Structure 1
Amino acid sequence: MDSTTTDDATGATDSADDFTPAERARGRALRRAQLPWALGGRLTGLALTLLLGLTPAGAGLVTAVGGWFGGSRTAEVLAGAAALVVLGQAVQLPFGAGVRVVRARYGLVTQGWAGWAADALRGLALTLVLVLPLALGLFALTAWSPDRWWLPAAGAAALLTVALSFLHPLLIEPVFNRFTPMPDGPLRTALLELAERDGVRVRDVLVADASRRTTALNAYVSGLGATRRIVAYDTLLSTAEPREVELVIAHELGHVKHRDVLTGTVLGAAGAAVAVCMLGLLSTWRPLLHAAGAADAADPRALPLLAACAALLGSLSGPAQCVVSRRIEARADRHALELTSDAEQFIAMQRRLALANVSDVDPPQVLELLFATHPSATRRIAAARAWKTTSGTADGTADGAASGTG
């Protein structure tokens, strides 16, 4: 590790020497190369949704595709919802391919185009399986009351958010990855002991076959209650030192310890309920209904309008969600440091993750504010050194707290 300069008064660290100029330039170049594709995909998808939702074009689409299946109200709802999903994903597909090409140039992609296309189809099928019943239920409520449908719908949205959080590791994650139990050995034992010392009960330690898609490193703790498990990418296990793996898992355990998953689920449920209430209010605004070519919220032709309003609300709330996420991630970092008392290995882990994932370690502030869900690598490393200074652990390791495999 290169030497650094520390400000004794604040514990802040000049981390300029943590990454070489070439390493910084590589991460910056990847960010600049993939940003137009990633941002272009978002903006194009949002533009299409707004175009269909705020003009009669969406109403015409719902009527046309519904007519292919008999023209009944149910046919218009299901066919219209399917058309919106398919068009939304189709228009973003070239941008996703562009991101993939860029990441492949930097050695981050191991999957062929056939596998990528299969994943896209899986994602489309999963989205349709989730969206079509929701659309049918939604318009059953609007038929019941075009003006008050959002009252029961808000409660249903909150309950569905909680259910999906619980079922995600069991039903959705296996669609895209294969998970196998981590073999018995020192690392598995160390991870389970780490969770036990932290007072976190986990069902199992699993390995995800991420290497068939990417060389990026990651790990997480997913699920609630009986579905909670530690998951490590096989790329992480084959690349990082065992002690670094422990530090990654310690960070993820911090999310559980501070009930971030549960809190996020509750906040997500509340946010879903509030969003539905706002959609209910917007769906009674006559100028919007007129612009969309719909009579009222019970009219299937209002489906694109509701989708557009939901997309716009989601986009506007994105930066605020990122602020909350960065604070949560910083707290999980502190938890990992307190649990392991190993600031030096934490710093080594952050450096390894940044280099393996070709991260921009110090991105422009505006991009960080708008899109970043995690603090930058330089911020995380500086925070670790500041913690080490204030904690008084001169060698970065507390007695009895650094046991493990690294």
Structure 2
Amino acid sequence: MDDFTPEQIARGRALRRAQVPWALGGRLAGLALTLALGFTPAGADLVTAAGGLFGGSRTAEVLAGAVVLILLAEAVQLPFTARVRTIRSGYGLVTQGWGGWALDVLRGLALSLLLVLPGVYGLYALTERSPQHWWVPAAGLAALLVPVLSFLFPLLVEPVFNRFTPMPPGALRSALLDLAERDAIRVKQVLVADASRRTTALNAYVSGLGATRRIVAYDTLLQTAEPREVELVVAHELGHVKHRDVLTGTLIGALGAAVAVCLLGLAADWQPLLSAAGATDAADPRSLPLLAACAALLGTAAGPLQCAASRRIEARADRHALELTSDPEQFIAMQRRLAVANVSDVDPPRLLELLFATHPSATHRIAAARTWQPAG
């Protein structure tokens, strides 16, 4: 804690205490709505009513029901999201106006609909063909979809929310490419994201698989941090590539998607649940809210495990950055800068860390850097 002033520590804690109740409240409100619609006939009635507006066919119920569920989930969480944004704006972390924020919300909704509706349509096409064994091909398709989306994400999704420009030739770009070369990692591009039009937070990442892999740095990072600190951030991100974290995460995600579909198949075959939800079987479009509720429960239960795995992966990427650069002093300076600029709680409560933190705290990362020793 000596690495931060009392004012910096207090500021990070104050932001955490102000925004966490609203962030958690939004999650709980969304989950409560999903469960209420999924485990009572209310969801089935909603699907029937939504489909009736478009002719009442089975396809209309499936697609209109999915749209209504997505819109309701967004609507119930929107006030909480807006409140968190207001709080972060008070700490100088938001640079975007409300109009730009609303446009981003609409973009996110459009993407959700674009991704979910074909999947839901395909799912219920399978349940119609095989009401008892639909989950077998659905599990395989879900597993296949995860790596496809991972490959396409930097090409199709990232540009929707940010503009990317090539980093101009210079010492920093050469240093970043040199880091990748020393790591024997093929990088197609080094790009700069215009994050400053939304936030003052600092970040960089490596995204994509194979031919789509690129280093991306926030313009806020380039404007604020020392070049060597930028190198340390990118060295950390290269650690994820070196240890195949993206590929491993994609494969685990594919397996998890397949298992989740199998579990949904079991839930949709359990008559007490179907009766409570007002559906006859998995082929009935009125089972859609039930499947959504079961999926939400699975995601909530898996959250802490995913966070624990993520913290271990991030700690390993930290060690990789130290091994690649042999510069613990600048690594510590970089962690200080990131924590202060992002108004992080540098030593959060243990329970919050266990349940929700995807990265080790700043104090843990700095302590690990101080105890790091070069191999050999």
Same fold (TM over 0.5): yes
1:6-405 correspondence runs (5 A) = 16-387=1-372, 390-391=373-374
- Percent of paired sites with the same residue: 79
Partner of 1:231: helix, strand, or coil? strand
* Whole-angstrom CA distance in 2 between matches of 1:72 and 1:153: 23
Measure how far apart 1:145 and its partner are.
1.2
Q: CA deviation at 1:20?
A: 1.0
Cα distance in 2, alignment partners of residues 137 and 37 from structure 1: 35
Aligned residue identity for 1:30: L
1:404 alignment counterpart: none
Question: How far apart are 1:392 and its partner, in Å?
Answer: 8.4
- 2:229 & 2:374 partners in 1: Cα distance? 20
2:233 maps to a residue whose letter is: V
Distance 1:116 1:220 in 2: 23
Please tell me the residue identity of whatever aligns with 1:286.
Q
- The residue type equivalent to 1:79 in the other structure is A
Amino acid at match of 1:391: P
Amino acid aligned to 1:290: S
- Distance in 2 of aligned mates of 1:288 and 1:147: 16
Q: What residue number does 1:12 align with?
A: none
User: In structure 2, what is the Cα distance between the partners aligned to 1:58 and 1:366?
Assistant: 34
Q: CA RMSD in A?
A: 0.8
Q: Deviations over 1:125-149 (max 9, x none)?
A: 0000001100100000000111110
Whole-Å separation in 2 of the counterparts to 1:162 and 1:141: 21
Code of the residue aligned with 1:148 in structure 2: it is H
Offset from partner CA, 1:211-265 (integer Å, 9 cap, x none): 0000000000000000000000000000000000000000000000000000000
Between the aligned partners of 2:365 and 2:180, the Cα distance in structure 1 is: 22
How many residues are treated as equivalent by the alignment?
Answer: 376
How many angstroms apart in 2 are the aligned matches of 1:126 and 1:91? 18
Between the aligned partners of 1:282 and 1:200, the Cα distance in structure 2 is 43
What is the DSSP-based 3-state SS (H/G/I as helix, E as strand, rest coil) of the residue aligned with 1:391? coil
Name the SS for the 1:76 alignment partner. helix
Q: CA deviation at 1:21?
A: 1.1
Distance in 1, matches of 2:129 and 2:307, equals 37
SS at match of 1:183: coil
Unaligned runs of 5+ in 2: none
TM-score by length of 2: 0.99
State TM-score, norm by structure 1: 0.92
Q: Measure the CA separation in 1 of the matches of 2:350 and 2:245.
A: 25
The 1:147/1:392 distance shift into structure 2, 3 A limit, reads closer
How far apart, CA to CA, are the structure 1 residues paired with 2:35 and 2:314?
33
One-letter code aligned to 1:36: P
CA distance in 1, matches of 2:39, 2:181: 53
Measured in 1, the distance between the counterparts of 2:374 and 2:75 equals: 52
Tell me the distance in 2 between the aligned counterparts of 1:84 and 1:391.
Answer: 53
Match of 1:4 in 2: none
| AA matched with 1:155 | G
**Matched residues in 2 for 1:90 and 1:259: separation?**
37
Shift of residue 391 of structure 1?
Answer: 2.9
Secondary structure at 2:216's aligned position in 1?
Answer: strand
C-alpha deviations, 1:53-104, integer Å up to 9, x for none?
A: 0000000000001000000000000000000001001110000000000000
Separation in structure 2 between the aligned mates of residue 332 and residue 144 of structure 1, nearest angstrom: 46
Counterpart CA distance in 1 for 2:274 and 2:7 is 54
